[in-house]
């Protein structure tokens, strides 16, 4: 048996004794080291289950599990055992886990876009184990060696990969693509800050728009943004116009999930600019296609998760082009996850990423 934090439903997580998983062919057994608390974890805890989380009576099609499930999907760990046929990793390797459940059979999977799998699930949300446990099993392809990256920083490879995917989706894949461009990032939470860090690594000048003073300061102190604007007190359009000599932004990243922020991002785009929606919106957004897209020759893109992006995230950290260490604002143990994790993160803009250890 092993210890694991299991999610039972709204405001109900428990530190349980659960069976230890067995490793099979093509699989890797990992001892999780650090697990980051994600915004989706907060939503699940305070508001209750949402897809792709399993429900009480309807099992997830890939994990076959219903509630309760082991929690945690942003994590790093150490390889404990490898199954038959595994060659990419060895016992003792430090890894960042790509926590996906995919079918390998649907059109998206066969096209290499497995983040759009028709049966998509997340380990740590949909079943299949999770990072808030003493041991878990993952397919070999989703255990990514991190070399000498400290394991606490390696836990941020997962959220960093969300940002890498979004920026690649926007057409920026290297410094050759980014040099000379300007981006406006709406929101300076974990995804907004990591998106800004990736943009900077690719040579893009970054302006962040964020209401919270402490998060704007974090963006400036870490150097991921050149300018940080409070849109409630400053005219974001004028700030961008001045910073770009009137050319406006080439790229805008929505990391806030608020309609008013999307409105502002459209207003700062230059001719032919692109807006990339990364945040999840709980309400519909009224899009004026003629005014917001056609007449400005603008492009709107949206993306979810990641596919084939973890290796680039690891490279960016290893090379020193992205420093995720300042984004770790707390470390706690699993027995205090509610008090020192969920409750501390809720409505507290000074926190970016709290990491949880089972020890």
Q: Which domain holds residue 141?
A: 2-156+324-357
What tokens were used for 199? 């943009």
**Cα distance between residue 76 and residue 96, in whole Å:** 4
Query: Are 125 and 172 in the same domain?
Result: no
Q: Does the structure show a pLDDT above 90 at 32?
A: yes
CATH number at residue 70: 3.90.180.10
Chain-centre distance for alpha carbon 100: 13
**Cα distance between residue 14 and residue 308, in whole Å:** 33
Query: Are 146 and 189 in the same domain?
Result: no
What's the confidence (pLDDT) of residue 136? 98
**Cα distance between residue 98 and residue 140, in whole Å:** 10
Query: Are 70 and 208 in the same domain?
Result: no
What does the pLDDT average to over 85-106?
97
pTM: 0.96
Give strand ranges (E) for the chain.
Answer: 2-9, 12-18, 27-36, 69-70, 74-82, 94-97, 100-101, 121-122, 136-139, 143-145, 182-186, 205-209, 227-229, 249-254, 269-277, 299-302, 328-333, 353-357
**Cα distance between residue 252 and residue 286, in whole Å:** 18
For residues 16 and 6, is the Cβ–Cβ distance under 8 A?
Answer: yes
* 136 inside domain: yes
What tokens were used for 312? 């680039």
CATH number at residue 231: 3.40.50.720
What's the confidence (pLDDT) of residue 120? 94
* 178 inside domain: yes
What does the pLDDT average to over 51-65?
87
- pLDDT tens-digit readout, 60-73: 999 999 999 999 99
Query: Are 243 and 214 in the same domain?
Result: yes
What's the confidence (pLDDT) of residue 50? 81
* 318 inside domain: no
Query: Are 8 and 61 in the same domain?
Result: yes
Q: Does the structure show a pLDDT above 80 at 319?
A: yes
Query: Are 143 and 173 in the same domain?
Result: no
What's the confidence (pLDDT) of residue 344? 97
Query: Are 259 and 346 in the same domain?
Result: no
For residues 332 and 355, is the Cβ–Cβ distance under 8 A?
Answer: yes
Query: Are 209 and 271 in the same domain?
Result: yes
Q: Does the structure show a pLDDT above 90 at 53?
A: no
**Cα distance between residue 194 and residue 188, in whole Å:** 9
What's the confidence (pLDDT) of residue 46? 96
What does the pLDDT average to over 147-168?
98
What does the pLDDT average to over 97-116?
97
What's the confidence (pLDDT) of residue 52? 74
- Count how many domains the chain has: 2
- pLDDT tens-digit readout, 263-313: 999 999 999 999 999 998 889 999 999 999 999 999 999 988 999 999 999
* 124 inside domain: yes
DSSP-based helix, strand, coil % in the chain, nearest 5:
30, 25, 45
Q: Does the structure show a pLDDT above 90 at 55?
A: no
Q: Does the structure show a pLDDT above 80 at 51?
A: no
Query: Are 131 and 219 in the same domain?
Result: no
Above pLDDT 90, what percent of the chain?
Answer: 95
* 15 inside domain: yes
Above pLDDT 70, what percent of the chain?
Answer: 100
Could you tell me which residue, 56 or 8, shows the higher pLDDT?
8
For residues 126 and 52, is the Cβ–Cβ distance under 8 A?
Answer: yes
What does the pLDDT average to over 114-129?
96
- pLDDT tens-digit readout, 206-245: 999 999 999 999 999 999 999 999 999 999 999 999 999 9
């Amino acid at each position: 048996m092993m210890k694991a934090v299991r999610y039972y439903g709204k405001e109900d997580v428990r530190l349980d004794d659960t069976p230890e998983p067995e490793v099979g062919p093509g699989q890797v057994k990992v001892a999780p080291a650090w697990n980051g608390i994600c915004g989706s974890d907060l939503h699940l805890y305070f508001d209750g289950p949402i897809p792709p989380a399993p429900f009480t009576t309807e099992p997830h099609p890939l994990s076959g599990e219903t509630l309760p499930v082991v929690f945690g999907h942003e994590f790093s760990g150490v390889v404990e055992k490898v199954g038959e046929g595994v060659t990419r990793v060895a016992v003792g390797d430090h890894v960042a886990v790509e926590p996906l459940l995919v079918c390998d059979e649907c059109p998206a999977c066969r096209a290499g876009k497995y983040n759009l799998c028709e049966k998509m699930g997340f380990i740590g949300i949909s079943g299949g184990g999770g990072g808030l446990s003493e041991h878990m099993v993952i397919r070999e392809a989703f255990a990514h060696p991190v070399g000498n990256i400290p394991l606490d920083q390696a836990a941020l490879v997962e959220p960093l990969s969300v940002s890498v995917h979004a920026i690649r989706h926007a057409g920026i894949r290297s410094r050759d693509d980014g040099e000379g461009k300007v981006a406006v990032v709406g929101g300076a939470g974990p995804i907004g800050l990591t998106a800004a860090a990736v943009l900077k690594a690719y040579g893009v000048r970054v302006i962040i728009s964020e209401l919270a003073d402490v998060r704007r300061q974090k963006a400036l102190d870490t150097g991921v943004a050149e300018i940080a604007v409070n849109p409630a007190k400053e005219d974001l359009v004028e700030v961008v116009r001045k910073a770009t000599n009137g050319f406006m932004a080439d790229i805008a990243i929505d990391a806030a999930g608020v309609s008013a922020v999307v409105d502002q991002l459209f207003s700062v785009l230059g001719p032919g600019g692109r807006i990339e929606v990364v945040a999840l919106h709980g309400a519909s957004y009224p899009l004026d296609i003629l005014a917001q897209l056609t007449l400005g020759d603008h492009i709107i893109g949206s993306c979810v998760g990641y596919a084939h992006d973890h290796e680039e995230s690891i490279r960016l950290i290893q090379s020193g082009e992205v420093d995720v260490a300042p984004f770790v604002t707390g470390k706690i143990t699993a027995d205090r996850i509610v008090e020192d994790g969920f409750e501390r993160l809720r409505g507290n803009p000074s926190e970016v990423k709290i990491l949880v250890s089972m020890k």
